[in-house]
Chains A and B, each alone.
Chain A
């Protein structure tokens, strides 16, 4: 059973701090990794994707991938109250082909003003 694990939270950080969200996955053959943000009552919104080991930065967001440790993380710098949402980690289960995503259950982030 291929699994993606996330701490359910809630993770609470003060405004302006760095929020660190973590995810581990069980399928060593996984190739593609995604972070989605989901506001309450809304559908998931893709915010970051990463395919290679290392860091990938996009604005205030940095995704980090370590395939040897089967670990992917999302850092949010200068956190804002509008970042408060559930963050879903997702992993492609077919090693690079366009198969379905396996999702973690999400980490709820709360940014306090």
Chain B
């Protein structure tokens, strides 16, 4: 079946502009996660949605970052007033809320470059 999809695949923006990144999880997956990966760095957790529960925003690096998930499916990560340090690959993952399935599957990512 279809995997996690993300758009755009690449985004170049000027410092100070706002950007929106989109994630469409695997059908039937109730949990959705955003991570980012900077060059040469590990994956950094940003935010986690589980069903209708309040999201876990503990990983968001500043109040310029926000995310929402509409209808329990598609999610949008918004970065306001982008800075050069925001340049990274933003990865979305989803998982199935089953009795023993915690495996997360990643989308192809959005490469964000802030100039």
Q: CB within 8 Å of B: which residues of A?
A: 32, 34, 36, 42-46, 49, 51, 88, 90, 92, 96, 98-106
Contacts and interface: CB of A to CB of B under 8 A. Distances in A.
B18 to A, nearest CB: 24
A92 B102 contact: yes
A104 B43 CA distance: 8
Contacts of B75: none
B100 interface: yes
Given A51-B100, A100-B59, A45 B41 contact: no
A100 B33 CA distance: 7
B41 A105 contact: yes
Given A43-B91, A103-B42, 18 more contacts: A36-B106, A44-B106, A45-B106, A46-B105, A46-B106, A51-B100, A90-B43, A98-B31, A98-B48, A98-B95, A98-B97, A98-B102, A99-B56, A100-B33, A100-B59, A101-B43, A104-B42, A105-B42
A99 B95 CA distance: 10
Contacts of A100: 33, 35, 45, 48, 56, 59
Nearest to B33: A100
A104 to B, nearest CB: 6
Could you say which of B43, B89, B105 has the most chain A C-beta atoms within 10 Å of its C-beta?
B43
22 contacts: A34-B103, A42-B108, A43-B91, A43-B108, A43-B109, A44-B91, A45-B106, A46-B103, A46-B104, A49-B103, A88-B42, A88-B43, A90-B43, A92-B102, A96-B102, A100-B56, A101-B33, A101-B43, A101-B45, A101-B104, A102-B45, A106-B42
B78 interface: no
A108 to B, nearest CB: 11
A101 B107 CA distance: 15
A45 B93 CA distance: 11
A74 to B, nearest CB: 15
B50 interface: yes
Contacts of B41: 105
A51 B98 CA distance: 15
